[in-house]
A and B are shown apart, each in its own frame.
Chain A
Amino acid sequence: MSTTTTDLDALAAALRAAIGADRVITDRQELRTYECDGLAQYKVIPALVALPADAEQCAAVVRACVAAGTPFVARGSGTGLSGGALPRADGVLVVTSQMRDILEIAPDDERAVVQPGVINLAVTRAATPHGYYYAPDPSSQQICSIGGNVAENSGGAHCLKYGFTTNHVLGVELVTPDGDRVRLGGRAPDAPGYDLLGAFVGSEGTLGIATEVTVRLTRLPESVRTLLAAFSTTDQAGAATSAIIAAGVVPAAVEMMDALAIEAAEAAVHCGYPPGAGAVLIVELDGPEPEVAAQFAQVESLCRDNRAFEIRIAADDAERALFWKGRKSAFAAVGRISPDYIVQDGVIPRTALPEVLRRIGELSAERGIRVANVFHAGDGNLHPLVLFDAAVDGETVRAEEVSGAILDLCITHGGSITGEHGVGMDKAKYMPRMFTDDDLDTMQLLRCAFDPDGLANPGKVFPTPRLCGEVPGRRKGAHPAQEAGLAEVF
């Protein structure tokens, strides 16, 4: 697909006519603002940026792209960590930041209806006065958009108990890759037909653009209690986690940090975690007061049984916030102890934690690359922070090797190459390690049903662009599209 300058001029004119000149960016300097998302190592300046005001304008933009045969990429707040919103040099970036209205908060229906650009935390802020909140809480909740959350099926510290975006999104209105506006699901549960809504959530902008989202609101819990337990080793903290789960307790959150992650957090935000800890667990319980009281005592004694050398219990919201501050700032904090780092995101069955952490330690020692571990221990979602210094010869390559080896470990243990950050551009090449050609071809059938011309966020998620006309089946060697020079493999 090659778009010439004249084609682009014509497309820009069509977009201006459709949504107004002030909503179309063509100035190269301004376009540069959008050259990457939260994964800054990939940068591409988009050919054009469109900022539609509403669903109809969004559909008009997509229709103009379809007419011109130009690819388009949706972008919410651009906080994605897998390069999902990386623009195409020959394409239009459709930014939802002007679609930020909360259309409705309906506590009686336990629903909110929002435009896609609405910030995650804004939904909770609007619902709280009614006694409700929006449960999925990615650490980026102060800046990421609901549209981006839907596209990534985002999770957060509390999804161990409350589930992910997919469990809380009840309806979407989307613009399909051919420019139609379609409603899936909505206010009532179980709309008849295929669960296309379920398939759309987590599709990373490759099945269309969400223009309106209906989310479930969750009752604010009566009681919340949080403890911080310090252990000498991650093995002990892991054993405590397993013991809690085995006891039939489902905490709202179980988060773990290892010594290096604690060191980073201390350097950055002085959270005052117990000195000498080789691992810290944050366990939060919420729910009706009598349940929380009974289970909290149980969690506390299970932590002691597994050799926690110090346990702190948050006396109030301020103390709870302090416990969480270290955890929530860990990603950014490693910047204090390392010039460069990779945030990895992989998942393993929880029971494999000790073994996998040990192996990560070995990899780290073998390759001379430090790895700080911060993760959602309750559901086995690891976020190893792979530290390196790009100025040192060969370190970047070794860091990438360690990072990749960690993903292989996840796959070997029956886990996943991503638990919440998505595949995007960054992990497309790992998809064939987790899935067979047949698995990927089958996913492609869905893609082709939505997007026969492959215009919606092409090149993301799937390693090899496949053409929708061809018969799916086993292939050997280079993809025909690749051989014909029509597409490249990432």
Chain B
Amino acid sequence: MPADRTLDQLRAAAEVVRTAGEHDTIDGVPARYVAAPRDTGQAAALLRAAAALDLAVTFRGGGTKQDWGSPPRRLDLILDTTALTGLVEHAAGDLITVVRAGTRLDELPATLAGAGQQLALDAPLPGGTVGGAVATNTSGPRRMLYGTVRDLLIGVTLVRADGVVAHAGGKVVKNVAGYDLGKLVTGAYGTLGLITECAFRLHPLPAAAAYVSRAVDDPAEAGRLAAAVRAAQLVPTALEVDAPAGGPATVTVLLEGTPAGVTARAAAARRLLGADATAADQPPDGWARYPWRDGDVGLKLTAALSGVPRLLSDARAAADRHDLPLALRGSAGVGVLYAGLPGASDPERVAALVDALRAATAALGGHTVVLTAPAPVRDRVELWGPVHGLELMRRVKQRFDPDARLAPGRFVGGI
């Protein structure tokens, strides 16, 4: 076997490096090496070595969202976080936890429930990591009450492209010392640095919950009901609409709190939604899931709240015009909808629909982002659409990663 000096040098930094196998690709782009550091120190040593060797690096957690964003323009090393796991601290009395970034998100509930607490991020399908959820800033239904990852992340440890380790924020919820770098790396798709540890604020687990649902024929009617719920004194944890292609839509309100309070509010919600509304203590099918499957086209549509009814009907009308079965689902209570199209849809028509959706969301103060799509569709559409402040973003990337070695090309504007 010929000597591989690069591999030797990476190994000198930390033993945990191997040559890439056939599955070690990022969105179709093959890597040369894979490294799985066990702690921040090893990750830093590896990133320092990668900098010295001018290697392009992409981070991988569970690998469930590697088809989000564009494929990296250049790739040598996959830095895999699946060994960078574990709970560093759970200070129940302070309602905070510190976890390593490679920890699976679906392992946290069991750990925290013992203390009657939760990290109020929605439970995805198995496999996603904490770091991946932060890096993609995913959100689910309960963001209406609890906010998103950016609101719950109170401290972060990062390793920069040059291998320097930095901390920002901390272990207390209230903290305004220095810049909030946690926000900066949330949703940055690993283009500014590797997240190795996250401190989160926690919430008490509610004693009771009720899901009140009502089916409606017309998506715009769903939007109007959603507005009525917001105007009432229900304080919902979530307010979702689910409008599958070609079927009736459903509006669901999640209420959480004390048993007596939830019973009273669920009754009020049923009165508000109408005679045929039902209450259940379990979520309806598809709750907290995106309305698409692997290999499909997945979109995120946002609008000002008052525009949600309009967006629901405009999106449906546009899909009908382009003869595409568009499934819509999302948080009508905050103005974020997800949309799915079959992966085999004609790329030209998808592109035309994306244009129409961009026009519709822009008119309502929002955006249309293509989160994931098969290659033929990607070749035809721009994933992100217009981005405000792009010039400043480029300058930030330039400072944090001057040689453009971290997932180059993956993010907005080719960052």
A binding-site residues for B, Cβ under 8 Å: 106, 108-111, 131, 152-153, 155, 159, 163-164, 166-167, 176, 180, 182-184, 186-199, 201-203, 219, 221-222, 242, 245-246, 248-250, 287-291, 293-295, 347-351, 376, 379-381, 414-423, 427, 431, 434-436, 438-443, 445-450, 461, 472-473
Given contacts A176-B392, A246-B93, A439-B168, contact A202 B181 (CB under 8 A): no
Identity of the chain B residue whose Cβ is nearest the Cβ of A287 in the assembled complex: B235
Among A176, A249, A349, which residue has its beta carbon within 8 angstroms of that of B172? Answer: A349
Query: Distance (Å) between the CB of B331 and the closest chain A CB?
Result: 9
Contact B174 A442 (CB under 8 A): no
Q: How far is A187 from B173 in the complex, measured between Cα atoms in Å?
A: 26
Among B148, B181, B336, B365, which residue has its beta carbon within 8 angstroms of that of A186? Answer: B365
| Chain A hits for B265, CB < 8 A | 288, 290-291
Contact A110 B230 (CB under 8 A): yes
Among B147, B180, B389, which residue has its beta carbon within 8 angstroms of that of A201? Answer: B180
Within 8 A of A (CB), among B143-201: 147-148, 150-151, 158, 160, 162, 164-168, 170-181, 183-184, 186-188, 192
Contact A294 B176 (CB under 8 A): no
Q: How far is A417 from B177 in the complex, measured between Cα atoms in Å?
A: 7
Q: How far is A249 from B93 in the complex, measured between Cα atoms in Å?
A: 12
Contact B389 A109 (CB under 8 A): no
Contact A198 B305 (CB under 8 A): no
Given contacts A109-B305, A196-B389, contact A188 B335 (CB under 8 A): yes
| Partner-contacting stretch, out of B10-18, B103-111, B393-401 | B393-401
| Chain A hits for B116, CB < 8 A | 248
Given contacts A245-B93, A350-B93, A415-B172, contact A108 B164 (CB under 8 A): no
Given contacts A163-B147, A198-B186, contact A438 B166 (CB under 8 A): yes
Identity of the chain A residue whose Cβ is nearest the Cβ of B367 in the assembled complex: A192
Identity of the chain A residue whose Cβ is nearest the Cβ of B192 in the assembled complex: A194
Q: How far is A14 from B226 in the complex, measured between Cα atoms in Å?
A: 53
A-B contact pairs, 13 of them (CB 8 A): A131-B231, A193-B411, A194-B192, A196-B389, A198-B180, A246-B92, A246-B93, A287-B235, A347-B172, A418-B175, A420-B176, A423-B177, A447-B179
Q: Which of B173, B336, B400 has the most chain A CB atoms closer than 10 A to its own CB?
A: B173
Name 11 extra pairs, CB < 8 A, besides A189-B335, A379-B173. Answer: A131-B231, A155-B174, A166-B151, A193-B411, A196-B396, A248-B116, A351-B93, A380-B174, A431-B177, A442-B181, A443-B168
Identity of the chain A residue whose Cβ is nearest the Cβ of B139 in the assembled complex: A190
Contact A439 B178 (CB under 8 A): yes
Contact A442 B147 (CB under 8 A): no
Q: How far is A47 from B248 in the complex, measured between Cα atoms in Å?
A: 66
Identity of the chain A residue whose Cβ is nearest the Cβ of B147 in the assembled complex: A167
| Chain A hits for B171, CB < 8 A | 349, 414-415
Contact A192 B385 (CB under 8 A): yes
Among B230, B307, B364, B367, which residue has its beta carbon within 8 angstroms of that of A191? Answer: B367
Give the number of residues in B that approach A within 8 Å (Cβ atoms). Answer: 90
Contact B180 A188 (CB under 8 A): no
Contact A192 B180 (CB under 8 A): no
| Partner-contacting stretch, out of B28-36, B74-82, B211-219, B256-264 | B256-264
Contact A195 B164 (CB under 8 A): no
Among B93, B170, B395, B398, which residue has its beta carbon within 8 angstroms of that of A415? Answer: B170
Among B137, B164, B184, which residue has its beta carbon within 8 angstroms of that of A190? Answer: B137
Contact B93 A192 (CB under 8 A): no
Q: How far is A347 from B264 in the complex, measured between Cα atoms in Å?
A: 38
| Chain A hits for B203, CB < 8 A | 250
| B124 on interface, CB distance cutoff 8 Å | no
| Chain A hits for B173, CB < 8 A | 379-380
Contact B93 A461 (CB under 8 A): no
Q: How far is A289 from B179 in the complex, measured between Cα atoms in Å?
A: 39
Contact A291 B257 (CB under 8 A): yes
Contact B392 A438 (CB under 8 A): no
| B278 on interface, CB distance cutoff 8 Å | no
Identity of the chain B residue whose Cβ is nearest the Cβ of A351 in the assembled complex: B93
Q: How far is A443 from B166 in the complex, measured between Cα atoms in Å?
A: 9
| Chain A hits for B92, CB < 8 A | 246
Contact B392 A449 (CB under 8 A): yes
Q: How far is A188 from B363 in the complex, measured between Cα atoms in Å?
A: 11
Q: How far is A274 from B367 in the complex, measured between Cα atoms in Å?
A: 56
Contact A446 B387 (CB under 8 A): no
Contact A416 B174 (CB under 8 A): yes
| Chain A hits for B93, CB < 8 A | 242, 245-246, 349-351
Q: What are the interface flags for B232-250 relative to A under an 8 Å C-beta threshold, 1 for contact and 0 otherwise?
A: 0111000000000000000
Contact A290 B260 (CB under 8 A): yes
Contact A294 B233 (CB under 8 A): no
Query: Distance (Å) between the CB of A196 and the closest chain B CB?
Result: 6
| Chain B hits for A187, CB < 8 A | 304, 365-366
The 7 closest A-B pairs by CB, nearest first: A198-B183, A248-B204, A188-B366, A187-B365, A442-B166, A291-B261, A108-B306
| B303 on interface, CB distance cutoff 8 Å | yes
| Chain A hits for B258, CB < 8 A | 290-291, 294-295
Q: How far is A364 from B39 in the complex, measured between Cα atoms in Å?
A: 42
Q: How far is A108 from B223 in the complex, measured between Cα atoms in Å?
A: 12
Among A221, A379, A446, A473, which residue has its beta carbon within 8 angstroms of that of B184? Answer: A446
| Chain A hits for B183, CB < 8 A | 166, 195, 197-199, 201
Q: How far is A350 from B148 in the complex, measured between Cα atoms in Å?
A: 24
| B302 on interface, CB distance cutoff 8 Å | yes
| Chain B hits for A166, CB < 8 A | 151, 180, 183
| B220 on interface, CB distance cutoff 8 Å | no
Query: Distance (Å) between the CB of B98 and the closest chain A CB?
Result: 10
| B300 on interface, CB distance cutoff 8 Å | yes
Identity of the chain A residue whose Cβ is nearest the Cβ of B188 in the assembled complex: A194
| B404 on interface, CB distance cutoff 8 Å | no
Q: Which of A221, A431, A440, A449 has the most chain B CB atoms closer than 10 A to its own CB?
A: A449
| B227 on interface, CB distance cutoff 8 Å | yes
Q: How far is A131 from B258 in the complex, measured between Cα atoms in Å?
A: 25
Q: How far is A480 from B411 in the complex, measured between Cα atoms in Å?
A: 36
Query: Distance (Å) between the CB of A186 and the closest chain B CB?
Result: 6
| B121 on interface, CB distance cutoff 8 Å | no
Given contacts A246-B93, A288-B235, A450-B392, contact A381 B137 (CB under 8 A): no
Contact A351 B94 (CB under 8 A): yes
Q: How far is A445 from B181 in the complex, measured between Cα atoms in Å?
A: 11
Q: How far is A379 from B201 in the complex, measured between Cα atoms in Å?
A: 11
Identity of the chain B residue whose Cβ is nearest the Cβ of A473 in the assembled complex: B164
Contact B94 A416 (CB under 8 A): no
| Chain B hits for A291, CB < 8 A | 235, 257-258, 261, 265
Query: Distance (Å) between the CB of B410 and the closest chain A CB?
Result: 13
Given contacts A182-B392, A199-B184, A294-B260, contact A435 B366 (CB under 8 A): no
| Chain A hits for B327, CB < 8 A | none
| B334 on interface, CB distance cutoff 8 Å | yes
Contact A108 B305 (CB under 8 A): yes
Q: How far is A344 from B246 in the complex, measured between Cα atoms in Å?
A: 61
Among B160, B164, B234, B395, which residue has its beta carbon within 8 angstroms of that of A449? Answer: B395
Q: How far is A236 from B272 in the complex, measured between Cα atoms in Å?
A: 44
Among A199, A249, A250, which residue has its beta carbon within 8 angstroms of that of B179? Answer: A199
| B369 on interface, CB distance cutoff 8 Å | yes
Query: Distance (Å) between the CB of B350 and the closest chain A CB?
Result: 18
Among B150, B205, B234, B335, which residue has its beta carbon within 8 angstroms of that of A195? Answer: B150
Contact B207 A188 (CB under 8 A): no
Contact A199 B389 (CB under 8 A): no
Within 8 A of A (CB), among B86-112: 91-96
Q: How far is A446 from B116 in the complex, measured between Cα atoms in Å?
A: 38
Query: Distance (Å) between the CB of A155 and the closest chain B CB?
Result: 6
| Chain A hits for B168, CB < 8 A | 439, 442-443
Q: Which of A187, A245, A379 has the most chain B CB atoms closer than 10 A to its own CB?
A: A187
Identity of the chain B residue whose Cβ is nearest the Cβ of A195 in the assembled complex: B183
Query: Distance (Å) between the CB of A454 and the closest chain B CB?
Result: 14
Among B179, B263, B305, which residue has its beta carbon within 8 angstroms of that of A446? Answer: B179
Contact A184 B389 (CB under 8 A): yes
| Chain B hits for A182, CB < 8 A | 388-389, 391-392
| Chain B hits for A197, CB < 8 A | 183
